[in-house]
Each structure stands twice: as C-alpha cells, then as structure tokens.
Amino acid sequence: MASGDPQQAAKVWSAVLGIVEMTIPRSSYKTWLERTNALSWAGDELLISVPDAFTAQYIQERLMVVLDTALRDVAGNGVSIALTVEGEKDTVLLPEEISKHVDPTSSDTKLTEREDNKSATVSQKFNPNYTFDHFVVGDSNELAFSGAKAVAESPGLHFNPLVLYSGVGLGKTHLLHAIAHEGTRKGLICVYTTCEDFTNQYVLAIRSGTTESFREKYRSADILLIDDIQFLIGKEQTQEGFFHTFNALHMSGKQLVISSDRPVTDLTVLEPRITSRLAGGLVTDIQTPTLETRLAILRSKSSTFDCEIPDEVMEYLAQRVQSNIRELEGSLNKIVALSQFKGTQISLETVKIAMADVRGSSHSKMVNDEAILTAVSNHFGIPKDHLKGKGRRKTTVQGRQVAIYLLRQETDLSLSAIGKILGGRDHSTVLHGYDRVASRIELDDTLRDDVLRIRTTLMKTT
C-alpha cells in the first residue's frame, strides 16, 4: 500500500473533494473533510488519512456514499476508498472495524458531545482566504462590504450590530472571517461561530454544568461573529442565552456581527426582543452577483492556480453558474483538479464535459420537465396548461419563456423536444423564447430573481 503513487493519489483526492465540496453543507465539509489527505493509490484502493478514528467513523457512516460517487466520476468504476488514522498509514481501518477504534462508551449523546467539542475548536479558526483583499466587490455587495470594512476599522462605534443577509454562497461568511482577520491583527479577541455550533455548545454547557465557562468564552469577545442566525428559530432556550450574550456585549461597547439567510423582518419566529435589537444596527443584503462580478470572482480565484484558464472557459462558467459564488468557485476547483489529475489542458470542450458530469450526477438527471413546469407554474401562478397553450397575456408569455430557458439549461432536452412539451411549438419559437430570457437575465434584476427562485425550488425538491 505504501508503494502507491502519492502524487497521483493527491490529484485524485483533490478532484473528488472538488466535486463533494459543491454537494454537501459547508460546515460538514470543513469539519470532516478539510483535514483529510491522500496517502497512496495502489490497484483499486485509494488510501485516505483522517485526523482521528471518530472522524473516520463519521465519514464511513455519513459521507462515504457521496465520496464513492465522486470517486467514480473521477477515476471510473472499481476504485474504493480506505481510511486510516493520521500517523497509522500501515493500519487500514475496515468499515466494520472503525467503530471499535472509537470510545466504546460512546452513544448518540456522546456522539453529539464530541461533535460539539470538535465544532468549538473549528469555530475559532479563520479561513486564510477569506480576507477583504480576496473579496471581489460589485454592485451586488458594495454596501455589505463597506459596512464590514467600517466595523473592522472601528468595532463597536458605528454599525452595531452589523447584520448581513443573503442566499447561500454569496459571501456572508467571507465578510465575517475578513472582519475577524482584521480584528485579530489589531490585537482584539474575535470569536466566530455558526449559530448551530453556538446552540450545540450552549446545550452542552447546560448539560455538563459549564455555563459559566460558556458565558466567559463569548462575553470576553471584542468582536463576536455569529453565522446563520436563522438557526435560532424554534430553540427558545438558546434564544435566551443569545439574548443575554448580545445584551452584555452591546452594553460593553463590543461589536456584534450577525449573518442570516433572510431579512430581519422575516425572522418573525424569533423573539421580538431579539429581532428589535438586530434591526437596531446596519442591516444590509448581498444580492446575486452580476455577470461582470462573477467573471471578476473567477479571474481572482484563477490567479491562485498554477495553470492557464482560457477566457472562454471563464465566460462559460460565469454564464452557467449564476446564483452561488461557492458553487462558482467549486466548479473552477473541480476543473483545475481534473485537469491536473488527467494531465490535460483546460479547454472549453473539456470543461463542458466536466460540468455535464457534475450536473448529471448531482442535479440535472433528477430534474425532469414536469418538475420544471410545476415550479414555473407555482412561481408565476399560471396553470400548466396555459404554459402549454397559446395564451398571449404578458405574464403567461413571460412564464412560458422562463420555462423554455430552464428546460434548456437544466435538462438535456433538444429545442424540438421542448417545443413538443410546450404544446407543439416549433424549433424557432423555442429558440426565440430561450434567447429572449438569456439576453435579458443579466440586465433585468426581477427576471434574474424569478429564475433563481425557481432554481432554488427545484434544488429543494430533487
């Protein structure tokens, strides 16, 4: 096993992680996969080193299916993943043996506590790439960036709290880490955590009688940054703990930075005393990036790679991935990793094939024409038979054109096939409808928002 090629193994594993990073939650990736390393690839087995046996157990039980699927996409069938604990590369843990290396007294409760402790450690690390210098500013995020810079330069003085809200993968976490980097550079105590981790730690502190140390950890912060505050919904006891932590820091002139996936006004299930305090500072959104901003993000990201990426590839990715910066960067990561693994040049044709593989395995093959028509119908309030009919009302025509655009983007259907689905329309009519949306989507914020909302609905139902 040790004789396997470590460089080739590293390339394979990098390509696998490039795929998986786009398909599982960010917190899961960072906690369980970010510190894994490929040791060797010999025969039909890829040997992966993990930090400890608990991580091996978690990966084996909860992530191995998605890892195996990605490995097949990269290296073909017949290759499997074997796990070993760091520093014990000669001891391969078989699936049935992994649990034996974990504390035998562990139960579901112990598992939760160990996850909490692991999360507490991870939450204090700031991503070195998430700095203000690495944040690409455009019309969609300019106010949020300016607010974050102001808070980092003068914490507790101007915008307190600072609340950033947006959809998934648009840069909220990046700005939180950037503030933490700047605060740390000034010698301030910066504590970053996700709301989920905050909740887990609070529950564990109550259960273990360590609430005093919990309070000390968070109330000693000069800047407290909490990601995804919407996870407080339905957790009344944790809301109480958050409220008192918020008050203590705010009264002391310490800075609070909060992120959410929705506006404060939509957090109606939270206690009013919490939402009123959140609304008392600067609340700003991060919108979906324009084509120009997406291109700038890709160019910035590509400068970190030791390879040439043609402009036409950048433009293709920017056009194809519209709603999520993390998915945009993840697509670029995958393309570069596959190119290095296969020893091939990056070209538009190879990228189209690679992107088709990703969407085919994780998205497009699960989205059919009926699901798209249903999502469009529900979004615009237009019956499906009207989308397929000859009605010329403005809303009906718009909904029909959006349906054409999504059917073309999200499936492998030809223009003729789409025409048949939509009431027997001919090829040129379908092409006109597609071009109409494609040419306006970067200029019309309302249209872009409609398409992105429908796509989000499709992702939730597949």
Specify the CATH number for the domain of residue 427.
Answer: 1.10.1750.10
Question: Could you tell me if residue 212 is inside a domain?
Answer: yes
N-term to C-term CA, the chain: 39
pLDDT in tens, 211-230: 888 888 888 899 999 988 88
45-50 vs 37-42, strand pairing mode: antiparallel
- Mean of pLDDT over the chain: 80
Q: What is the mean pLDDT of residues 378-382?
A: 91
What's the confidence (pLDDT) of residue 225? 93
CATH number, domain with residue 272: 3.40.50.300
Q: What is the mean pLDDT of residues 307-317?
A: 86
Domain containing residue 310: 291-362
Whether the predicted pLDDT of 179 surpasses 90: yes
pLDDT band, very low/low/confident/very high, at 92 (cuts 50, 70, 90): low
pLDDT in tens, 424-446: 998 889 989 988 888 887 678 78
What's the confidence (pLDDT) of residue 119? 40
Question: Could you tell me if residue 430 is inside a domain?
Answer: yes
Positive/negative CA dihedral, 30, 225, 332, 455:
positive
Same domain flag for 132 and 250 = yes
Question: Could you tell me if residue 111 is inside a domain?
Answer: no
Long-range contacts of 56-64 (CB under 8 A, 24+ apart): 56/83, 56/84, 56/85, 56/93, 56/98, 56/101, 57/98, 57/99, 57/101, 57/102, 58/32, 59/32, 59/33, 59/83, 60/95, 60/98, 63/20, 63/24, 63/28, 63/32, 63/33, 64/95
pLDDT band, very low/low/confident/very high, at 302 (cuts 50, 70, 90): confident
Beta-carbon contacts of 89 under 8 Å, excluding residues fewer than 6 positions away, are: 1, 2, 39, 40, 47, 49
Same domain flag for 210 and 130 = yes
**Helix H or strand E segment including 257:** strand 255-260
Same domain flag for 447 and 423 = yes
Alpha carbon 4 to its chain centroid, in Å, reads: 33
Question: Could you tell me if residue 443 is inside a domain?
Answer: yes
Whether the predicted pLDDT of 462 surpasses 90: no
Task: Answer yes or no: are the C-beta atoms of 281 and 187 closer than 8 Å.
Answer: no
Work out the widest C-alpha separation in the chain, in whole angstroms.
Answer: 70
What's the confidence (pLDDT) of residue 461? 59
Top-confidence residue, 277 or 258: 258
Question: Could you tell me if residue 1 is inside a domain?
Answer: no
Final residue of a structural domain among 362, 377, 406: 362
Same domain flag for 300 and 266 = no
Backbone angles phi, psi at 382, to 5 degrees: -115, 125
Q: Model-level pTM greater than 0.85?
A: no
pLDDT band, very low/low/confident/very high, at 115 (cuts 50, 70, 90): very low
Same domain flag for 102 and 129 = no
What does the block give as tokens for 152? 């980092």
Same domain flag for 155 and 240 = yes
Same domain flag for 307 and 209 = no
Residue 279 buriedness (CB in 10 A; 0-12 / 13-18 / 19+): middle
Task: Answer yes or no: are the C-beta atoms of 314 and 302 closer than 8 Å.
Answer: yes
Same domain flag for 129 and 59 = no
Q: What is the mean pLDDT of residues 125-140?
A: 84
Amino acid making up residue 459: M
What's the confidence (pLDDT) of residue 175? 94
Beta-carbon contacts of 447 under 8 Å, excluding residues fewer than 6 positions away, are: 402, 437, 440, 441
Same domain flag for 266 and 134 = yes
Task: Answer yes or no: are the C-beta atoms of 59 and 398 closer than 8 Å.
Answer: no
User: DSSP label at 287?
Assistant: P
User: DSSP label at 160?
Assistant: S
Final residue of a structural domain among 255, 285, 315: 285
DSSP per-residue letters across 40-51: EEETTEEEEEES
Top-confidence residue, 453 or 373: 373
Q: What is the mean pLDDT of residues 91-118?
A: 44
Whether the predicted pLDDT of 195 surpasses 90: no
Question: Could you tell me if residue 96 is inside a domain?
Answer: yes
Question: Could you tell me if residue 392 is inside a domain?
Answer: yes
Beta-carbon contacts of 254 under 8 Å, excluding residues fewer than 6 positions away, are: 155, 156, 221, 222, 223, 224
User: DSSP label at 261?
Assistant: S
Angle between helix 108-122 and 195-208 (nearest 10): 130
Nearest residue to 148 via CA among 255, 62, 61, 272: 255
DSSP per-residue letters across 176-187: HHHHHHHHHHTT
CATH number, domain with residue 19: 3.30.300.180
Question: Could you tell me if residue 112 is inside a domain?
Answer: no
3 state DSSP class of 232: helix
Task: Count structural domains, the chain.
Answer: 4
What's the confidence (pLDDT) of residue 144? 92
Same domain flag for 248 and 264 = yes
Same domain flag for 241 and 162 = yes
pLDDT in tens, 340-354: 777 778 888 878 877
Same domain flag for 357 and 436 = no
CATH number, domain with residue 358: 1.10.8.60
Residue 213 buriedness (CB in 10 A; 0-12 / 13-18 / 19+): exposed
- C-alpha 135/C-alpha 147 separation (Å) is 13
Final residue of a structural domain among 362, 384, 406: 362
255-260 vs 282-285, strand pairing mode: unpaired
